[in-house]
């Protein structure tokens, strides 16, 4: 059990002995001071629940001690009960309260009153300690909650990333592309702006896999994805993996001419990877074919028109010998 500390201050040691014998409580540790200065020094060394303070003392009197304690942030909240010999005039008593006392005791001390008052302040002190403990607990909980919240936000970000990305290439996935595609269609419809789409397919990729194996095929797909990303310059141009070895690119506010430029850049960029594909004649390199389509959406546009036109043109590019685009 930790003892509660009370400071008793009186210039006459025999008075301190009287106080000590009256209080006589195992739960209370009494610290004694016989001068104002010694009292102030003690308040800095201990954590007191209460100070019983003699008024009349040579040198620094009780009022002065009380005032100085009120000026120090470490001691200003310690309750002070003045212990005074005479039946003071009202003005003197008010002065005591002004200097920061919370109560008065008169000598000779009545044991019942002394114990009663000490009991009240000790209870207040214990409540204060409990409240402080709870406040620290609450602060700790708050910190934990803030940490959890941060973890949750990070997890959410990761989940969003996972749900919008393709695992192999890191490009946008088909599901997310479909969302963007609808949004861009609506946006173009609202603004009357041109919207373009590229559908891309790796040439003779089955043969590539057959020659080098699926893992090497995967790496080739990643390289193609990078090359496609490198070929778009604006952040509104989005590249997605449409499935297998097919990719799709959406180009807002872009007319057919602009889309053809991007298509040609992509074709060149993939060719420039110089990935060997012995069964891909005549270059002997990995190549792509592209279908390009553009539209200024009208209110009654079929959602899939742009895609189906791009698909037909991709098919035309394949028929034209691959490693080319058709628009
Ligand atoms: P074409 O030029 O007409 O497009 O011929 P192709 O061989 O590329 O077309 P096909 O549709 O016959 O074959 C596509 C191949 O792409 C078959 C499939 O194994 C491969 N493929 C699809 N997805 C992946 C993948 O994630 N990794 C690997 N390594 N191969 C894939
Ligand atoms: Mg005195
Ligand atoms: Mg295909
Ligand atoms: Mg293919």
Q: Is 202 in the pocket of ligand 1 (CB under 6 A)?
A: yes
Three-state DSSP string of the chain: CCCEEEEEECCCHHHHHHHHHHHCCCCEEEEEECCHHHHHHHHHHCCEEEEEEECCCCCCCHHHHHHHHHHCCCCCCCCEEEEECCCCCHHHHHHHHHCCCCEEEECCCCHHHHHHHHHHHHHHHHHHHHHHHHHHHHHHHHHHHHHHHHHHHHHHHHHHHHHHECCCCCCECHHHHHHHHHHHHHHHHHHCCCEEEEEEEECCHHHHHHHHCHHHHHHHHHHHHHHHHHCCCCCCCEEEEEECCEEEEEEECCCHHHHHHHHHHHHHHHHCCCCECCCCCCCCECCEEEEEEEECCCCCCCCCHHHHHHHHHHHHHHHCCCCCEEC
Q: Ligand 2 centre from 123 Cα, in Å?
A: 28
Domains defined for the chain, CATH in brackets: 4-132 (3.40.50.2300), 174-326 (3.30.70.270)
Residue nearest to ligand 1 atom 5, measured at CA? 204
Query: Which ligand 1 atom sits nearest the alpha carbon of residue 220?
Result: 29
Q: Ligand 3 centre from 290 Cα, in Å?
A: 11
Q: Is 206 in the pocket of ligand 1 (CB under 6 A)?
A: yes
pTM to 2 decimals? 0.66
ipTM entry = 0.96
Q: Is 211 in the pocket of ligand 1 (CB under 6 A)?
A: no
- Nearest ligand to the CA of 202 is 4
Q: What is the pLDDT along the chain (327 residues), one digit of tens a residue?
A: 578 999 999 999 999 999 999 998 888 999 999 999 999 999 999 999 999 999 999 999 999 999 999 999 999 999 999 998 766 678 888 888 888 888 999 888 899 999 999 999 889 888 988 999 999 999 999 999 999 999 999 999 999 888 999 999 999 999 999 999 999 999 999 999 999 999 999 999 999 999 999 999 999 999 999 999 999 999 999 999 999 999 999 999 999 999 999 999 999 999 999 999 989 988 899 999 999 999 988 877 776 889 999 999 999 999 999 999 999
Q: Ligand 1 centre from 247 Cα, in Å?
A: 12
């Amino acid at each position: 059990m930790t003892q509660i500390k009370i400071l008793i201050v009186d210039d006459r040691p025999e008075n301190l002995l009287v106080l000590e014998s009256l209080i006589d409580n195992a739960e209370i540790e009494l610290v004694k001071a016989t001068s104002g200065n010694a009292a102030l020094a003690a308040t800095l060394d201990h954590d007191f629940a209460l100070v019983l303070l003699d008024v009349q003392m040579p040198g620094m009197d009780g009022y002065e001690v009380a005032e100085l304690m009120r000026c120090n942030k470490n001691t200003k909240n310690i309750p002070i009960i003045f212990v005074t010999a005479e039946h003071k005039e009202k003005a003197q008593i008010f002065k005591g309260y002004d200097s920061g006392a919370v109560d008065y005791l008169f000598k000779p001390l009545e044991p019942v009153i002394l114990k009663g008052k000490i009991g009240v302040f000790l209870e207040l002190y214990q409540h204060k300690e409990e409240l402080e403990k709870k406040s620290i607990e609450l602060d700790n909980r708050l910190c934990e909650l803030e940490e959890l919240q941060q973890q949750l936000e990070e997890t959410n970000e990761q989940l969003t990333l996972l749900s919008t990305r393709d695992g192999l290439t890191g490009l946008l996935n088909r599901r997310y592309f479909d969302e963007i595609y609808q949004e861009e269609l609506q946006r173009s419809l609202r603004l009357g702006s041109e919207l373009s789409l590229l559908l891309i397919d790796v040439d003779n990729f089955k043969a590539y896999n057959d020659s080098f194996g699926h893992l090497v095929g995967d790496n080739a797909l990643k390289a193609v994805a990078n090359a496609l990303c490198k070929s778009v310059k604006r952040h509104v141009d989005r590249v997605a993996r449409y499935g297998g070895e097919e990719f799709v690119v959406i180009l807002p506010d872009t007319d057919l001419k602009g889309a053809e430029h991007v298509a040609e850049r992509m074709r060149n960029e993939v060719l420039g990877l110089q990935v060997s594909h012995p069964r891909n004649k005549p270059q002997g390199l990995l190549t792509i074919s592209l279908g390009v389509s553009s539209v200024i959406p009208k209110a009654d546009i079929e959602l899939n028109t742009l895609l189906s036109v791009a698909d037909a043109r991709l098919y035309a590019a394949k028929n034209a010998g691959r490693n080319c685009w058709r628009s």
